[in-house]
Amino acid sequence: MAVYQDKPVKYYLNTEEDLFFLNELMGRKFKITYLGDIKCFCGKLVNNVFRMNFCYNCYYTLPEASEAILKPELSKAHLGIEERDLESEKAYQLQPHTVYLAISGGLKVGVTRTSQQITRWIDQGAIKALPILHTSNRYEAGVWEVELKKIFSDKTAWREMLRWNDPDVDLLAEKNKILETFRDRQNEFLDHSELFTFEYPSLEKPDKITTINIETKKSVEGILTGIRGQYLILDNNKVFNIRTYEGRHVEIEIT
């Protein structure tokens, strides 16, 4: 799903044939049927995909699927060391990154490219996000994240997030606690941190969560009652993660 920051966030579902403005479809009935085919990002039709929805060849050869994507502290482009494709890795890793705190069902720490930080926070369903420091490359941000994971979780509490069960946490106060912990490195942190807030379209809040696996169930249907992160929230507490099923060929019916 493509997103646009607004109050609430605007969501667009891109398919090969159409573009749906999902906010306008709130309260309408959706049916998504899996047709059995999977297309990798490289364009090939495959029987199955690996992590991040790459086919076998892409998963083991492309820099976009390297370990440094999920573990920034493993980045090596700043040393001029090639993992899979040095020029691509330099373009991705040697750019400003943001280390941040966010509330997304729970308090978490994370790392993202500064140019993509808004999209990243929305994809995680954050209601608040606070940049705490900027780095010149992905490796430095990853090293900081490793340190801060000793204090905070780096995982999105997605079940709590989808129930809008977010804790009331003062992110500026949490940043001040970090500054106390790293007194000898306070100059590396941002002097003034801008607090970002987000709202998500919702008609009702689910009281429990039932995830739908479209590959085993073959279809999901219900009334669209909310969107948060990369999840469609349907009536009867059903949730469907669009990102998980990227590349699947589906038929969409809206009534």
Going along 166-237, which residue ranges are E strands?
196-197, 210-211, 219-228, 231-234
| Alpha-carbon distance values, 31 to 65, 111, 223, 232, 234 (Å) | 31, 35, 9, 12, 10
For residue 19, pLDDT over 90 is answered with no
In this prediction, residues 85-106 reach a mean pLDDT of 97
Structure token digits, residue 87: 């020029």
Bond into 8 cis (ω within 30): yes
Give the CA count within 13 Å in the CB-facing half-sphere of 235: 10
Banded pLDDT at 48 (limits 50, 70, 90)? confident
Banded pLDDT at 47 (limits 50, 70, 90)? confident
Banded pLDDT at 161 (limits 50, 70, 90)? very high
In this prediction, residues 63-70 reach a mean pLDDT of 92
For residue 16, pLDDT over 90 is answered with no
Is residue 119 within 8 Å of residue 3, measured between CB atoms?
A: yes
| Residue 116 phi, psi (nearest 5) | -115, 15
pLDDT tens-digit profile of 194-251?
999 999 999 999 999 999 999 998 999 999 999 999 999 999 999 999 999 989 999 9
